[in-house]
Structure 1
Amino acid sequence: MSFDEEIRFQYLGRNPSLHAPVLSLIGCSVIFNSIIFYILPPTITPLKKSYIVSTIHALASVVAATLFYLFSTINLKQVNRIVGGGILATHDEKMVYSLCYSCGYFIYDIIIMLLFKSVRNRSALIHHVIIASSVLAGEC
């Protein structure tokens, strides 16, 4: 790692850490959520399947945030620590993984809403597009 990269990682990140393969993680999350959706029994409606995957995402997000706040030092004066890539060798980098999982979930859910009319909800679709694009803007 060059000196400039070390300096960049010691302070607030503006780009994702080189140690976090952001797009790969997001892609894996889309695939993971899709697999969950499709392995659920076909007798369950797409809407209920979507709720189940959504609940799994919510639980994973709560666990990730709880672990972050339990094991890291919080300095609220440091803005954009997480979405900006975090600080190297801190729990910030681990939150980048959580954000990638969430972004992948939102992309998966957008696809599901477009594929299944029964799942489609205009406000949820707009919400997911805004959230996914915001996270992608910070991560990529």
Structure 2
Amino acid sequence: MRHDTGGRLTRDGIRIHDPEDFAGMHAAGAVAAKILDDVAPHVRPGQTTGGLEEVIRAAVEASGSTSATIGYRGYQHASCISVNHVVCHGIPGPKTLKNGDILNIDVTVIVDGWFGDTSRMYVAGSLSRKAERLVQVTHDALFKGIEAVKP
């Protein structure tokens, strides 16, 4: 989403964007997705969530985008990294990943005023059969939900 007056507002206050706005949305989302692609090889047992944050921060800088989270209400990280039972908005730090940890990494960047906000699930090392099943079921549920969405 862009924090300006692009598009038009309906009488209910809903912003309807112009077709050219979608190019900006796509560009911001693509940068965020590439950052998540680039961090994948660094997700492994022995790595810290703070180390992953450093990789993400460098990738944001290299992309020429701006982190939307650094400085937001005092937050000082370019990502949120949630491990295992942490549902969301985990704070990167000294936590060392163990074999079988499941992570969600959330990245939000700003490109030309447009926000790209996305997250992805990762696995450090190999999973137990039970955890592997959890990952597969949640992945399948996500795509069933996407399939059901209609205007």
What TM-score range do you get, normalising by the shorter chain? 0.3 to 0.5
TM-score by length of 1: 0.36
Structure with the largest fraction of strand: 2
More helix by share: 1
- TM-score (normalizing by structure 2): 0.34
> Relative contact order (alpha carbons < 8 A, sep ≥ 6): 1 or 2 greater?
1
